[in-house]
Structure 1
Amino acid sequence: MNDMTSRRTGGRAARRASRAAPLNDDLRPVRPGLTGGTYTPLTEDGMTRIDRAALDALEQIGLSGAPDSGISQMTRAGATLGDDGRLRFPRALVEETIANANKEITLFARDPRHDLHLAGPRVHFGTAGAAVHMVDVDGQNYRDSTLQDLHDAARITDRLDNIHFLQRPMVARDIPDAFEMELNTVYACCAGTTKHVGTSFSEPSHVAPALELLHLIAGGEDKWRERPFVSNSNCFVVPPMRFASESCDVMEACIEGGMPVLLLSAGMAGATAPSTIAGAIVQAVAECLAGLVYVNAVKPGHPAIFGTWPFGLDLRSGAMTGGSGEQALLSAGCAQMHRYYGLPGGAAAGIADAKLPDMQAGWEQMCSNVMAGLAGLNMVYEAAGMHASLLGFCHESLILGDDLIGQALRCVRGIEVDDETLALDQMREVCLNGPGHYLGTDQTLARMQRDHVYPTLGDRTSPREWAENGKPDLIERATERKEAILAERSEARFDPRLDAEIRRRFTIHLPA
């Protein structure tokens, strides 16, 4: 009896250990690059009409404000400069550019395990933004964001399975000099995570020193060019339909330096873009197509992400509505247009208008993240941590967003139908020969980790268990996890000799 008990106990312990062991990436219930595209708010006719309207806008209205270098590059490619100073883009030029543009992009990471392959409807979630405040949940206060806050966000991101990349989510307001702030942003992000990093530059002269820093981190310019692990988030247009001259100069410098670019068009529906969802998408598509012509005129095939980021607006107050249903539709519709053209693309989702990580934030973040993922958006930017319509960033919300995005990714994965998942053999065995339930069956135990996503912090206990456990508070648990992560040394930190060399050549504000 004791031997049998021991064997049963040993078998149960072995099964528990097997279930607790990390799964191979291809067996995990959710992972980067899951295929979306099942949600299609735009009909085929709707996409065709948006395409025609965007091409008409480029041919008839065009864009103003391009720098001289851009005018030279784009007119040489086939654009025309009118007496009114506007560049217009013949339909044939745009269609040829789309046909020849880079259709698949790998955004490299310092650790190759985190490389992101952008193609078709493969979905990735990450951070972004330029928040100027940090949300301190303890006192429910907003304060200026700092370089240390940014570095901490990078370190936290490095430990979260469902946050696949780090685009700079906040501004280091404790560094008043723009050049030093942008250089330190690159340092703080790369020293905090080995995932892909996105950042921006306010002036073209800031690009070369940042590239010098990145060459040091990569181990040489040749190694950087082989695997550029930082991309440039570039607001190359000032909607409506006007190039941002200085940002275009930055973009040209980044292209020359081998850095992938995010072509970011961020019109506000009802203010700097048409108020209708379809109209806002048309303008964003037109602006990004102009940007695609620009990039490919400078360097054909250079990796460029089609960054249609139209935002919603509350027309009663003029306030941005990043957490609205309209925002979710804008991003999902943009994802469809990316697939219509076969171009790697990104848009914004997961933004909360709520000021704190509360119930409002939960519904706002989940709605747009799920819809963007189901629509097959390659890069879901601003997916976690963003509050107050992009004005505030919250570390606890970033951590909770990892759970939320895990559930969104499970929706993206969808329902697999095959002989095993149809489970007829299980039904036959349980109903005819078994106990009448599926608890504890080999099939249930074998698939519980592969089919189901279990929240790290979300509480699924009964009210009685919850009370017995001291009524744990979700925000407090997120704070505890934040403190635990930040108490450990970052795995992304630089070798001390490399760090010393970086500090010798650049003014780094983070303590060594």
Structure 2
Amino acid sequence: MTDQTPLRSGGRAARRAARAKALPDHMRPIRPGMEGGTYKPLTEAGVEAIHRAALTALEEIGLADAPETGVAYLTEAGAVQGDDGRIRFPSALVEDALARANRAVTLFARDPAHDLELSGTRVHYGTAGAAVHLVDVEDNSYRECGVQDLHDAARITDTLDNIHFLQRPMVCRDIPDNREMDLNSIYACCAGTMKHVGVSFTDPDFVANGLELLHMIAGGEDKWRERPFVSNSNCFVVPPMKFATESCRVMEECIKGGMPVLLLSAGMAGATAPSTVAGAIVQAVAECLAGLVYVDAVKPGHPTIFGTWPFGLDLRSGAMTGGSGEQALLTAGCAQMHHFYGLPGGAAGGIADAKMPDMQAGWEQMCSNVMAGLAGLNMVYEAAGMHASLLGFCHESLILGDDLIGQALRCVRGIEVNDETLALDQMREVCLGGPGHYLGTEQTLSRMETDHVYPRLGNRSSPKEWDELGKPELVRNATAKKEEILAQRSRARFDAETDRAIRARFNIHLPA
């Protein structure tokens, strides 16, 4: 035994050194774009019924308040404007648009390693929202958020393996001019992360400046159009069943500028959408199908994400319930409808109604994130950092969300069954004259990194070890991690010449 100890110790040291190295992407236990789709809350008959109801709603009810440009596009395509001004959509028109729609969309990133392939049941998690407050965990308070907070969120996102994209999660409340706010949001996000970015525009007249800024970042309009690394999150409807006139015009300008579009329908079940889960999904599907016809009329084949985002509502108080089981069902049901149509789609998951990153936040965020992933939702928006039903964003919660989504992704990966994983050979070796346990066996050690996901901040030590470590606290550790990240220079920073040119052209509020 004494003679073998150095060898065993050396073997362990070698294995530890191997485990410390980053695994190749194809061997990682979790990664962007893993396929879900095993969870289906709707029956096949239910899916068909929702589809038929959506077509009926479009044909008989239609949508109001289309802009003049939208009326022209849609009626030329075959939609009908009634005497009441509403645009109605014959079922054949919708089916034709569906037949022409993209079955796959690539959302590019400035770093190609972070490109997102949206198709089938491939799952990606990221941020989104328009929070007006930043959550301060030091004193359990809320304050208005600003452009520096948005930039910091982007910088943090860039370092987190399980946050795959950054859609602007908060509003720059310290910039009163809307044009400057839109442009600074683009700057703050793109200067903070090399991952794909999603932004919004408050006015169609601001899109041209936004595209000019993106051309400068990309190194020219041709390079931007080749790899558009920013998409437009577009609330093109005001539920129930009305177009958002100005947002539609924004959408038209973004399409012309080569920017991918997220068609976002965000009805509130019981307020601006039917109170039933099925009814809310019907309306969201109908509205997004109308948006799909609209995009097809402007530019067939334009990269589009089918963004059914119905939200839950507490009917006792009228408060939003983003962290509820009903919300998880809404999101998973929408994912199933995306697969029925074969369209790249996104919806909301991971929202916490809890005001702080506490136990309530944990169960709320995990519930919808897991169900969205298992349902095979291509883009799980608002998956980390969102509190108070989208009113607050928390940097610490974003970091903790990386751990949480890691566990959700392990659920998405599921259970592989083959000769190796059935482990009969291991059972024979261990049980028939072996040590009687699987600890330290070659098979166990060889798969401990490829099969298992280990939290970076979550604590799995015993009470005794936890005490000896100084009783580490989860949120406090997240704060320390945040400070560590923000102390480093962002890899996404623009080169000095580009940054000077941008600042000479636009009023950038972040310090140079």
TM-score bracket relative to the smaller structure: over 0.9
Give SS of 1:262's match. Answer: strand
Aligned to 2:267: 267
C-alpha distance in 2 between matches for 1:257 and 1:478: 39
Instruction: Please state if 1:352 is matched with 2:352.
Output: yes
Give SS of 1:450's match. Answer: coil
CA deviation string 1:357-386 (max 9, x = no partner): 000000000000000000000000000000
Give SS of 2:346's match. Answer: strand
Aligned to 1:97: 97
Give the letter for the 1:131 counterpart: A
CA deviation string 1:249-276 (max 9, x = no partner): 0000000000000000000000000000
C-alpha distance in 2 between matches for 1:326 and 1:152: 32
Give the letter for the 2:499 counterpart: D
CA deviation string 1:314-354 (max 9, x = no partner): 01000100000000000000000000000000000100000
C-alpha distance in 1 between matches for 2:38 and 2:101: 25
Give the letter for the 2:95 counterpart: E
Which ranges in structure 2 are unaligned for 5 or more consecutive residues?
A: none
Aligned to 1:190: 190
Aligned to 1:392: 392
Which ranges in structure 1 are unaligned for 5 or more consecutive residues?
A: none
Give SS of 1:175's match. Answer: coil
Give SS of 1:236's match. Answer: coil
How far the C-alpha of 1:5 sits from its partner, in A, is 4.8
C-alpha distance in 2 between matches for 1:406 and 1:266: 27
C-alpha distance in 2 between matches for 1:348 and 1:75: 32
C-alpha distance in 1 between matches for 2:400 and 2:13: 31
C-alpha distance in 1 between matches for 2:420 and 2:15: 20
Give SS of 1:232's match. Answer: strand
Write out aligned runs for 1:449-464 (5 A). Answer: 449-464=449-464
C-alpha distance in 2 between matches for 1:8 and 1:374: 41
CA deviation string 1:183-236 (max 9, x = no partner): 000000000000000000010111011101100111110010000000000000
CA deviation string 1:37-62 (max 9, x = no partner): 00000000000000000000000000
Write out aligned runs for 1:64-79 (5 A). Answer: 64-79=64-79
Give the letter for the 1:491 counterpart: R
Give SS of 2:37's match. Answer: coil
Moved more, 2-11 or 261-270: 2-11
Aligned to 2:377: 377
Aligned to 1:9: 9
Aligned to 2:481: 481
Tell me the matched-pair count: 512
Give the letter for the 2:211 counterpart: L
Q: How high is the TM-score relative to the length of structure 2?
A: 0.99
Aligned to 2:118: 118
C-alpha distance in 1 between matches for 2:422 and 2:492: 43
How far the C-alpha of 1:412 sits from its partner, in A, is 0.4
Aligned to 1:339: 339
How far the C-alpha of 1:8 sits from its partner, in A, is 3.6
C-alpha distance in 2 between matches for 1:12 and 1:470: 27
C-alpha distance in 1 between matches for 2:232 and 2:399: 25
Q: How high is the TM-score relative to the length of structure 1?
A: 0.99
C-alpha distance in 1 between matches for 2:151 and 2:202: 20
Give SS of 1:352's match. Answer: coil
Give SS of 1:497's match. Answer: helix
C-alpha distance in 1 between matches for 2:404 and 2:337: 26
Aligned to 2:434: 434
How far the C-alpha of 1:68 sits from its partner, in A, is 0.8
Give SS of 2:338's match. Answer: helix
Give SS of 2:191's match. Answer: helix
Give the letter for the 2:160 counterpart: L
C-alpha distance in 1 between matches for 2:403 and 2:169: 19
Give the letter for the 1:336 counterpart: Q
CA deviation string 1:73-101 (max 9, x = no partner): 11111101111101100000101110110
Give SS of 1:434's match. Answer: coil
State, as a whole percentage, how many aligned pairs show the same letter: 78
Instruction: Please state if 1:282 is matched with 2:279.
Output: no
Give SS of 1:405's match. Answer: helix
Aligned to 1:304: 304
How far the C-alpha of 1:10 sits from its partner, in A, is 2.8
Instruction: Please state if 1:323 is matched with 2:333.
Output: no
Aligned to 2:62: 62
Relative to structure 1, the CA distance from residue 219 to residue 53 in structure 2 (aligned partners, 3 Å threshold; closer, same or farther) is: same
